[in-house]
Amino acid sequence: MNVLSGSIPAGRAQLGAAARATRLIFLTSGIGMASWAPMVPYAKARLGLDDADLGLVLLAFGGGSMLSMPLVGWLTHRYGNRKVISVAGLMLCVAIPLLAIVPNAAALAAVLLYFGAMLGAVDVAMNAHAVEVERCDGRALMSGFHGLFSIGGLAGAAIMSALLALGLTLWTSALTIALLLALIVLSQRSSLLPGVDDAAEWSATFRLPRGLVLLLGVLCFVSFLAEGSMLDWSAVLLRDFRGFSAASAGIGYACFSVAMAAGRLAGDRVVGRLGPVSAVRIGASTAAIGFLLAAMAPWPAASLSGFVLIGLGASNIVPVMFSAAGRLPGNPPAISIAAVTMLGYAGLLSGPALIGFMAHASSLPVALAAVAAMLLLVAGSARIVRR
């Protein structure tokens, strides 16, 4: 087993501080990402963008994340997770107020590319760091870390919306959040593990995923696709097929989000009791049942119950797979996680469009039922995450 030089904590207190810092970094990442959501309508109105222009500009956000991940895998291998988290986290904070004042669509695309790249960098480094903390601790911790990211996602949009409701300008609100996040990053930096992979043991250059890394990446692609489908299509399903008004159709995604956050906060105990294989198998099967219930049952309450099952079932699949990627023999954890995360983000970005094509060829309920079939394939492949 490879041991990261200098990464094994001196005692439980130091390890506890590292785990606490990891949770706060996950929280920071969630807040930073979600703070952009309430800013989107302001950017659209200020820059005079139509829906097509806005959709094209928003591609820069996901593109920046995916482009940065292979490089970040190498950087974390070379310089350590703590340095990458600290630098990328502070650079992320710079982007948030810039998003509030960009003067034109081209500048918005450039800042979103930068914003996505920094979020992608923090994402890879914090997951690699979480794998190391989990390995040192000897217990399942990854789901709890991702639970803080989910809470951050809920809190980021709420905080930004609350600041705007109090009458603060968009730039002042964005700057307030950026300063808060910068304070968290600076205060937690010293508690992060300083370890750097032994360069003599690893020959770490990014290469196309293959073998077990590729299989994990494909399974993450499906899992992220399922999560993305809830963001983009749950409200459409409720409005067009279940009789919800446009104003209330967002309750479906709220049910999913709250269930996912709750599932992740309880996930470490679930994974510890069931084991990673059973946790993925049961979780993917539960999410598949949720998709079938939401898509096929004609009653509104059944659809909402299905969204809850999807959130609970999907909540621990990706955290367990990230842990498994960080434990793969013969691969530096950061490099494996970068590859798996990149494929997962590809599912998050392309999945809603794939569902749209399937819905156009058949119907949205049928397209969502196809996602259930893909999740059953994830359940059948759960053995890959065995410790």
Lowest mean pLDDT among 20-24, 262-266, 349-353: 349-353
Of 335, 381, 299, residue with least CA distance to 81 = 335
Per-residue pLDDT, 73: 78
Q: How close are the terminal C-alpha atoms of the chain, in Å? A: 13
- Alpha carbons 193 and 138: distance in angstroms, whole number: 16
Task: Tell me what pLDDT residue 2 has.
Answer: 39
CATH of span 12-191: 1.20.1250.20
Answer whether 12-191 and 211-385 agree in fold. Answer: yes
User: How large is the C-alpha radius of gyration of the chain?
Assistant: 20
In which band, very low, low, confident or very high, does the pLDDT at 7 lie, cut at 50, 70 and 90? very low
State percent of the chain over pLDDT 70: 93
pTM for the full predicted model = 0.82
The partner residues of 5 in beta bridges, in order of sequence, read 196
Mean pLDDT on 226-233: 82
Residue 387: band (very low, low, confident or very high) from pLDDT cuts 50, 70, 90: low
Helices 364-380 and 333-361: crossing angle, nearest 10°? 150
Q: Is the pLDDT of residue 11 over 70?
A: no
- pLDDT digits over 31-58, tens only? 998 888 888 888 888 999 887 788 788 8
Q: What is the pLDDT of residues 108-140, one digit of tens each?
A: 999 999 999 999 999 989 998 998 898 888 888
For the 211-385 domain, the top CATH level (class) is: mainly alpha
pLDDT at residue number 198: 46
pLDDT digits (tens, 9 = 90+) for 326-361: 888 777 777 788 888 888 888 887 777 788 888 888
All structural domains of the chain with their residue ranges: 12-191, 211-385
